[in-house]
Amino acid sequence: MEIGIVGLSRSGKTTIFNAATRGSAEVAAFASDQAKPNFGVAKVPDARLDRLVEMFQPKRIVPAEVTYVDVPGAPEGSGKTRGISGRYLNNLQTVDVLLIVARAFEDPSVTHVYDTVDVFRDVEAILLELTISDLELLERRAERIADSFKGAKAIERERLEKEQAIVTRLKAQLDAGVPIRDQTLADDEAQFLDGSQMLTAKPVIVVGNVGEDQVEATEEIEERLREVAAGPTVQTGVVCGRLEMELAQMEPDEEKEFRDSLGAGQSGLDRMVHLSYQAGDLISFFTTDIKEVRAWPALRGATAARVAGKIHSDFEKGFVRAEVVAYDEFVDCGSMAEARRRGTLRHEGRDYVVQDGDLINILFNV
Protein backbone atom coordinates (compact mmCIF):
# COMPACT_ATOMS: atom_id res chain seq x y z
CA MET A 1 0.00 0.00 0.00
CA GLU A 2 1.29 3.45 -0.94
CA ILE A 3 0.35 6.55 1.04
CA GLY A 4 0.69 9.72 -1.03
CA ILE A 5 1.65 12.78 1.06
CA VAL A 6 0.25 15.97 -0.45
CA GLY A 7 -0.25 19.55 0.62
CA LEU A 8 0.01 23.17 -0.37
CA SER A 9 3.45 24.61 -0.94
CA ARG A 10 5.41 25.20 2.30
CA SER A 11 2.98 23.15 4.39
CA GLY A 12 5.80 20.95 5.74
CA LYS A 13 4.78 17.75 3.99
CA THR A 14 8.37 16.65 3.34
CA THR A 15 9.07 17.21 7.03
CA ILE A 16 6.14 14.91 7.84
CA PHE A 17 7.49 12.39 5.30
CA ASN A 18 10.87 12.39 7.06
CA ALA A 19 9.22 12.01 10.47
CA ALA A 20 7.11 9.06 9.34
CA THR A 21 9.92 7.21 7.50
CA ARG A 22 12.95 8.37 9.50
CA GLY A 23 14.10 9.74 6.18
CA SER A 24 16.35 12.63 5.25
CA ALA A 25 14.75 14.03 2.10
CA GLU A 26 15.69 17.64 1.43
CA VAL A 27 13.19 19.97 3.06
CA ALA A 28 12.88 22.76 0.50
CA ALA A 29 10.62 24.03 -2.23
CA PHE A 30 9.41 20.89 -4.01
CA ALA A 31 7.00 22.35 -6.53
CA SER A 32 8.66 21.73 -9.89
CA ASP A 33 6.45 19.86 -12.31
CA GLN A 34 9.55 17.86 -13.27
CA ALA A 35 10.46 16.88 -9.69
CA LYS A 36 10.31 13.19 -8.82
CA PRO A 37 8.46 11.87 -5.74
CA ASN A 38 10.38 10.82 -2.63
CA PHE A 39 9.73 7.22 -1.55
CA GLY A 40 10.21 5.91 1.98
CA VAL A 41 9.23 2.87 4.00
CA ALA A 42 7.98 2.87 7.59
CA LYS A 43 8.12 -0.26 9.71
CA VAL A 44 4.84 -0.86 11.52
CA PRO A 45 5.25 -0.86 15.32
CA ASP A 46 3.34 -3.83 16.79
CA ALA A 47 3.56 -5.05 20.38
CA ARG A 48 2.28 -8.45 19.23
CA LEU A 49 5.32 -8.89 16.99
CA ASP A 50 7.58 -8.02 19.93
CA ARG A 51 5.87 -10.66 22.08
CA LEU A 52 6.20 -13.33 19.38
CA VAL A 53 9.90 -12.52 19.04
CA GLU A 54 10.31 -13.13 22.78
CA MET A 55 8.58 -16.50 22.43
CA PHE A 56 10.30 -17.79 19.27
CA GLN A 57 13.72 -16.12 19.58
CA PRO A 58 14.06 -16.12 15.76
CA LYS A 59 17.20 -15.37 13.77
CA ARG A 60 15.34 -12.77 11.72
CA ILE A 61 12.58 -10.26 12.57
CA VAL A 62 10.55 -8.60 9.80
CA PRO A 63 7.89 -6.01 10.75
CA ALA A 64 5.09 -5.12 8.37
CA GLU A 65 5.83 -2.08 6.23
CA VAL A 66 3.94 0.86 4.73
CA THR A 67 5.31 2.87 1.79
CA TYR A 68 5.03 6.66 1.80
CA VAL A 69 5.29 8.79 -1.33
CA ASP A 70 6.18 12.45 -0.87
CA VAL A 71 4.40 13.81 -3.95
CA PRO A 72 6.11 16.84 -5.53
CA GLY A 73 4.41 20.06 -4.46
CA ALA A 74 1.22 21.26 -6.06
CA PRO A 75 1.72 23.74 -8.91
CA GLU A 76 1.03 27.43 -8.36
CA GLY A 77 -2.68 28.09 -8.05
CA SER A 78 -3.50 24.79 -6.33
CA GLY A 79 -5.87 25.26 -3.46
CA LYS A 80 -7.64 28.02 -5.38
CA THR A 81 -10.13 25.76 -7.23
CA ARG A 82 -8.16 25.76 -10.48
CA GLY A 83 -8.34 22.00 -10.77
CA ILE A 84 -5.66 19.32 -10.78
CA SER A 85 -3.94 18.16 -13.95
CA GLY A 86 -0.71 17.00 -15.56
CA ARG A 87 1.99 15.10 -13.71
CA TYR A 88 0.63 16.24 -10.35
CA LEU A 89 -2.69 14.52 -11.08
CA ASN A 90 -0.89 11.39 -12.29
CA ASN A 91 1.12 11.21 -9.07
CA LEU A 92 -2.05 11.45 -6.97
CA GLN A 93 -3.89 8.84 -9.03
CA THR A 94 -1.27 6.12 -8.53
CA VAL A 95 -1.31 6.03 -4.71
CA ASP A 96 -3.80 4.08 -2.57
CA VAL A 97 -4.39 6.62 0.20
CA LEU A 98 -4.01 10.41 0.30
CA LEU A 99 -2.35 11.99 3.33
CA ILE A 100 -3.11 15.71 3.31
CA VAL A 101 -0.68 17.87 5.28
CA ALA A 102 -2.05 21.28 6.24
CA ARG A 103 0.05 23.97 7.84
CA ALA A 104 -0.89 25.20 11.32
CA PHE A 105 2.53 26.58 12.36
CA GLU A 106 3.48 30.25 12.17
CA ASP A 107 6.89 31.13 10.77
CA PRO A 108 7.56 34.63 9.38
CA SER A 109 10.53 33.27 7.40
CA VAL A 110 8.31 30.78 5.53
CA THR A 111 5.58 32.54 3.59
CA HIS A 112 2.16 30.97 3.11
CA VAL A 113 0.55 30.74 -0.34
CA TYR A 114 -2.46 32.61 1.08
CA ASP A 115 -0.27 35.01 3.10
CA THR A 116 -2.10 33.96 6.28
CA VAL A 117 -2.10 30.64 8.16
CA ASP A 118 -5.44 28.84 8.53
CA VAL A 119 -5.13 25.06 8.71
CA PHE A 120 -8.90 24.50 8.43
CA ARG A 121 -9.26 26.72 5.35
CA ASP A 122 -6.38 24.89 3.67
CA VAL A 123 -7.89 21.45 4.32
CA GLU A 124 -11.22 22.53 2.88
CA ALA A 125 -9.46 24.02 -0.17
CA ILE A 126 -7.53 20.82 -0.92
CA LEU A 127 -10.59 18.61 -0.48
CA LEU A 128 -12.46 20.91 -2.86
CA GLU A 129 -9.64 20.61 -5.42
CA LEU A 130 -9.98 16.81 -5.29
CA THR A 131 -13.72 17.08 -5.87
CA ILE A 132 -13.28 19.46 -8.82
CA SER A 133 -10.71 17.10 -10.35
CA ASP A 134 -13.17 14.19 -10.21
CA LEU A 135 -16.00 16.30 -11.61
CA GLU A 136 -13.79 17.23 -14.56
CA LEU A 137 -12.88 13.58 -15.15
CA LEU A 138 -16.53 12.53 -15.02
CA GLU A 139 -17.50 15.36 -17.40
CA ARG A 140 -14.93 14.16 -19.93
CA ARG A 141 -16.19 10.60 -19.48
CA ALA A 142 -19.76 11.80 -20.13
CA GLU A 143 -18.62 13.51 -23.33
CA ARG A 144 -16.91 10.33 -24.56
CA ILE A 145 -20.05 8.32 -23.80
CA ALA A 146 -22.17 10.79 -25.74
CA ASP A 147 -19.83 10.55 -28.72
CA SER A 148 -19.92 6.73 -28.56
CA PHE A 149 -23.70 6.70 -29.02
CA LYS A 150 -23.22 7.73 -32.65
CA GLY A 151 -23.51 4.59 -34.73
CA ALA A 152 -23.63 2.29 -31.69
CA LYS A 153 -25.56 -0.99 -32.01
CA ALA A 154 -28.42 -1.90 -29.68
CA ILE A 155 -26.33 -4.02 -27.29
CA GLU A 156 -23.63 -1.36 -27.15
CA ARG A 157 -26.23 1.38 -26.58
CA GLU A 158 -27.56 -0.51 -23.55
CA ARG A 159 -24.09 -0.58 -22.00
CA LEU A 160 -23.54 3.10 -22.76
CA GLU A 161 -26.88 4.02 -21.19
CA LYS A 162 -25.87 2.24 -17.97
CA GLU A 163 -22.52 4.04 -17.92
CA GLN A 164 -24.24 7.34 -18.58
CA ALA A 165 -26.61 6.78 -15.65
CA ILE A 166 -23.69 5.94 -13.34
CA VAL A 167 -21.72 9.03 -14.37
CA THR A 168 -24.79 11.23 -13.87
CA ARG A 169 -25.41 9.87 -10.36
CA LEU A 170 -21.76 10.13 -9.29
CA LYS A 171 -21.61 13.73 -10.53
CA ALA A 172 -24.84 14.66 -8.74
CA GLN A 173 -23.52 13.28 -5.45
CA LEU A 174 -20.18 15.07 -5.88
CA ASP A 175 -22.00 18.33 -6.63
CA ALA A 176 -23.90 17.81 -3.38
CA GLY A 177 -20.60 17.56 -1.49
CA VAL A 178 -20.47 13.76 -1.07
CA PRO A 179 -17.05 12.32 -2.09
CA ILE A 180 -17.13 9.02 -3.94
CA ARG A 181 -15.58 7.18 -0.97
CA ASP A 182 -18.69 8.06 1.09
CA GLN A 183 -21.24 7.22 -1.61
CA THR A 184 -23.18 3.97 -1.49
CA LEU A 185 -22.27 2.15 -4.68
CA ALA A 186 -24.06 -0.70 -6.42
CA ASP A 187 -21.94 -3.54 -7.78
CA ASP A 188 -22.04 -2.18 -11.35
CA GLU A 189 -21.02 1.29 -10.10
CA ALA A 190 -18.10 -0.14 -8.14
CA GLN A 191 -16.96 -2.08 -11.22
CA PHE A 192 -17.24 1.09 -13.30
CA LEU A 193 -14.89 2.86 -10.88
CA ASP A 194 -12.29 0.06 -10.86
CA GLY A 195 -9.18 1.52 -12.40
CA SER A 196 -10.78 4.96 -12.80
CA GLN A 197 -8.38 6.47 -10.23
CA MET A 198 -10.92 8.96 -8.95
CA LEU A 199 -9.28 11.01 -6.21
CA THR A 200 -12.31 11.31 -3.93
CA ALA A 201 -12.69 7.52 -4.01
CA LYS A 202 -9.41 7.16 -2.10
CA PRO A 203 -9.29 7.03 1.72
CA VAL A 204 -7.93 10.25 3.22
CA ILE A 205 -5.73 11.11 6.21
CA VAL A 206 -5.67 14.77 7.24
CA VAL A 207 -2.69 15.89 9.34
CA GLY A 208 -2.34 19.31 10.91
CA ASN A 209 1.35 20.30 11.06
CA VAL A 210 1.73 22.40 14.21
CA GLY A 211 4.64 24.35 15.66
CA GLU A 212 6.35 23.52 18.93
CA ASP A 213 4.46 26.36 20.62
CA GLN A 214 1.14 24.70 19.66
CA VAL A 215 1.78 21.20 21.04
CA GLU A 216 -0.51 21.75 24.03
CA ALA A 217 -3.37 22.68 21.68
CA THR A 218 -3.16 19.54 19.52
CA GLU A 219 -6.35 17.95 20.88
CA GLU A 220 -8.36 21.09 20.20
CA ILE A 221 -6.97 21.40 16.66
CA GLU A 222 -7.58 17.72 15.90
CA GLU A 223 -11.17 17.91 17.14
CA ARG A 224 -11.82 20.82 14.77
CA LEU A 225 -10.13 18.96 11.90
CA ARG A 226 -12.56 16.06 12.42
CA GLU A 227 -15.43 18.51 11.85
CA VAL A 228 -13.87 20.08 8.74
CA ALA A 229 -12.91 16.73 7.15
CA ALA A 230 -15.80 14.64 8.46
CA GLY A 231 -16.41 11.23 6.91
CA PRO A 232 -16.25 7.51 7.76
CA THR A 233 -13.13 7.00 5.61
CA VAL A 234 -11.22 10.09 6.78
CA GLN A 235 -8.61 9.85 9.55
CA THR A 236 -7.25 12.95 11.26
CA GLY A 237 -4.16 13.68 13.32
CA VAL A 238 -1.97 16.53 14.53
CA VAL A 239 1.83 16.37 14.77
CA CYS A 240 4.69 18.78 15.19
CA GLY A 241 6.53 17.87 12.01
CA ARG A 242 9.81 19.66 12.70
CA LEU A 243 10.14 18.23 16.22
CA GLU A 244 9.21 14.73 15.07
CA MET A 245 11.67 14.87 12.17
CA GLU A 246 14.50 15.81 14.55
CA LEU A 247 13.55 13.07 17.00
CA ALA A 248 13.31 10.49 14.20
CA GLN A 249 17.01 11.01 13.37
CA MET A 250 18.07 9.96 16.90
CA GLU A 251 18.94 6.47 18.08
CA PRO A 252 15.85 4.74 19.55
CA ASP A 253 17.02 4.87 23.18
CA GLU A 254 18.09 8.50 22.86
CA GLU A 255 14.81 9.38 21.18
CA LYS A 256 12.77 7.74 23.95
CA GLU A 257 14.71 9.54 26.68
CA PHE A 258 14.39 12.91 24.95
CA ARG A 259 10.71 12.32 24.14
CA ASP A 260 9.96 11.44 27.76
CA SER A 261 11.71 14.59 28.95
CA LEU A 262 9.58 16.70 26.57
CA GLY A 263 6.36 14.82 27.25
CA ALA A 264 6.08 14.41 23.46
CA GLY A 265 4.15 11.13 23.72
CA GLN A 266 3.75 8.73 20.80
CA SER A 267 6.24 9.22 17.97
CA GLY A 268 5.20 10.79 14.68
CA LEU A 269 6.24 7.57 12.92
CA ASP A 270 3.92 5.46 15.08
CA ARG A 271 1.10 7.96 14.76
CA MET A 272 1.32 8.15 10.97
CA VAL A 273 1.56 4.38 10.51
CA HIS A 274 -1.44 3.69 12.73
CA LEU A 275 -3.51 6.29 10.89
CA SER A 276 -2.36 4.77 7.58
CA TYR A 277 -3.44 1.30 8.68
CA GLN A 278 -6.87 2.58 9.67
CA ALA A 279 -7.31 4.59 6.48
CA GLY A 280 -6.21 1.69 4.26
CA ASP A 281 -8.39 -0.76 6.23
CA LEU A 282 -5.38 -3.00 6.82
CA ILE A 283 -4.79 -5.79 9.33
CA SER A 284 -1.63 -7.71 10.21
CA PHE A 285 -1.12 -11.46 10.23
CA PHE A 286 2.01 -13.33 11.29
CA THR A 287 4.21 -16.16 10.09
CA THR A 288 6.46 -17.68 12.74
CA ASP A 289 9.26 -20.16 13.29
CA ILE A 290 12.75 -20.20 14.80
CA LYS A 291 14.24 -18.81 11.58
CA GLU A 292 11.92 -15.84 11.11
CA VAL A 293 9.02 -14.06 12.78
CA ARG A 294 7.29 -11.78 10.31
CA ALA A 295 4.27 -9.46 10.27
CA TRP A 296 2.41 -9.02 6.99
CA PRO A 297 -0.10 -6.29 6.07
CA ALA A 298 -3.31 -7.41 4.36
CA LEU A 299 -6.58 -5.81 3.40
CA ARG A 300 -9.35 -6.52 5.87
CA GLY A 301 -11.54 -9.27 4.45
CA ALA A 302 -8.69 -10.98 2.55
CA THR A 303 -8.95 -14.75 2.24
CA ALA A 304 -6.36 -17.33 3.26
CA ALA A 305 -5.56 -18.02 -0.40
CA ARG A 306 -5.04 -14.31 -1.10
CA VAL A 307 -2.66 -13.77 1.83
CA ALA A 308 -0.82 -16.95 0.86
CA GLY A 309 -0.05 -15.22 -2.42
CA LYS A 310 1.47 -12.31 -0.51
CA ILE A 311 3.93 -14.71 1.09
CA HIS A 312 4.80 -16.45 -2.19
CA SER A 313 2.94 -16.83 -5.49
CA ASP A 314 3.40 -20.63 -5.36
CA PHE A 315 1.56 -20.72 -2.03
CA GLU A 316 -1.60 -19.35 -3.64
CA LYS A 317 -1.35 -21.53 -6.77
CA GLY A 318 -0.84 -24.74 -4.82
CA PHE A 319 -2.88 -23.83 -1.73
CA VAL A 320 -4.05 -26.90 0.18
CA ARG A 321 -5.05 -25.49 3.56
CA ALA A 322 -3.91 -23.05 6.24
CA GLU A 323 -3.03 -23.81 9.84
CA VAL A 324 -4.39 -20.87 11.85
CA VAL A 325 -4.34 -19.82 15.49
CA ALA A 326 -5.45 -16.45 16.86
CA TYR A 327 -2.72 -14.38 18.52
CA ASP A 328 -4.35 -14.23 21.97
CA GLU A 329 -5.01 -17.97 21.96
CA PHE A 330 -1.44 -18.72 20.94
CA VAL A 331 0.04 -16.53 23.69
CA ASP A 332 -2.24 -18.25 26.20
CA CYS A 333 -1.06 -21.66 24.97
CA GLY A 334 2.62 -20.66 24.93
CA SER A 335 3.60 -22.89 22.00
CA MET A 336 2.32 -24.41 18.77
CA ALA A 337 2.45 -27.87 20.29
CA GLU A 338 0.12 -26.78 23.11
CA ALA A 339 -2.14 -24.97 20.63
CA ARG A 340 -2.49 -28.23 18.71
CA ARG A 341 -3.14 -30.17 21.90
CA ARG A 342 -5.90 -27.78 22.96
CA GLY A 343 -7.44 -27.69 19.50
CA THR A 344 -7.01 -23.93 19.09
CA LEU A 345 -4.79 -24.51 16.04
CA ARG A 346 -7.34 -24.88 13.26
CA HIS A 347 -7.23 -26.06 9.65
CA GLU A 348 -8.92 -23.56 7.33
CA GLY A 349 -9.71 -23.63 3.60
CA ARG A 350 -8.79 -21.12 0.89
CA ASP A 351 -11.93 -18.99 1.49
CA TYR A 352 -11.26 -18.46 5.20
CA VAL A 353 -11.30 -14.72 5.99
CA VAL A 354 -8.06 -13.89 7.77
CA GLN A 355 -8.45 -12.05 11.08
CA ASP A 356 -6.19 -9.38 12.54
CA GLY A 357 -3.42 -11.06 14.54
CA ASP A 358 -3.80 -14.56 13.07
CA LEU A 359 -0.69 -16.75 13.07
CA ILE A 360 -0.78 -18.63 9.77
CA ASN A 361 1.15 -21.54 8.28
CA ILE A 362 0.33 -22.26 4.63
CA LEU A 363 0.34 -25.87 3.42
CA PHE A 364 0.68 -26.10 -0.36
CA ASN A 365 1.48 -28.50 -3.17
CA VAL A 366 2.94 -27.34 -6.48
Pair 85, 221 in one domain = yes
Output the tens digit of pLDDT for each of the chain's 366 residues.
Answer: 899 999 998 899 999 999 888 887 887 654 455 578 899 999 999 999 999 999 999 999 999 999 999 998 665 555 554 557 678 888 899 999 999 999 999 998 888 888 899 999 999 999 999 999 999 999 999 999 999 998 888 889 988 999 999 999 999 999 999 999 999 988 888 888 887 889 999 999 999 999 988 878 888 998 999 888 877 888 999 988 888 888 888 888 888 888 777 666 667 678 788 889 989 999 999 999 999 999 999 999 999 999 999 999 999 999 999 999 999 999 999 999 999 999 999 999 999 999 999 999 999 987
Flag whether 25 is in a domain.
yes
Residue 289 lies in a domain: no
Burial class of residue 75, CB neighbours in 10 A (0-12, 13-18, 19+): middle
Strand, coil or helix: what is 151?
coil
Question: 176 and 61: one domain?
Answer: no
User: Does residue 96 fall inside a structural domain?
Assistant: yes
193 and 140 fall within a common domain: yes
Based on the domain organization, do 261 and 339 belong to the same domain?
no
State whether 353 and 233 are in the same domain. Answer: no
Q: Is residue 284 part of a domain?
A: no
The reply to whether 227 and 272 lie within a common domain is yes
Shared domain check, 348 and 260: no
Confidence (pTM)? 0.88
Question: Does one domain contain both 46 and 92?
Answer: yes
Same domain, 67 and 165: no
- Let me know if residue 223 belongs to a domain: yes
Structural domain includes residue 350: yes
What are residue 63's phi and psi, to 5 degrees? -70, 160
In 3D space, the residue among 181, 144, 176 whose CA is nearest the CA of residue 163 turns out to be 144
Q: What is the CATH number of the domain that holds 233?
A: 3.40.50.300
Q: What is the CATH number of the domain that holds 318?
A: 3.10.20.30
Tell me which residue of 342, 308, 309, 305 sits closest to 326, measured CA to CA: 342
Q: Which residues contact 360 (CB under 8 A, 6 or more apart)?
A: 285, 286, 287, 304, 307, 322, 323, 324, 354
Beta-bridge mates of residue 208: 102, 238
Q: What is the CA radius of gyration of the chain?
A: 23
Task: Let me know if residue 34 belongs to a domain.
Answer: yes
| Residues 209 and 11: beta-carbon distance below 8 Å | yes
Asked if 269 and 327 sit in the same domain, the reply is no
Domain that holds residue 310: 301-364
Same domain, 354 and 261: no
Last residue of a domain, one of 199, 223, 243: 199
Q: Could you give the number of structural domains in the chain?
A: 3
Last residue of a domain, one of 199, 224, 257: 199
State the CATH number of the domain containing residue 156.
1.10.150.300
Last residue of a domain, which of 170, 199, 228? 199
Residues 219 and 342 in one domain: no
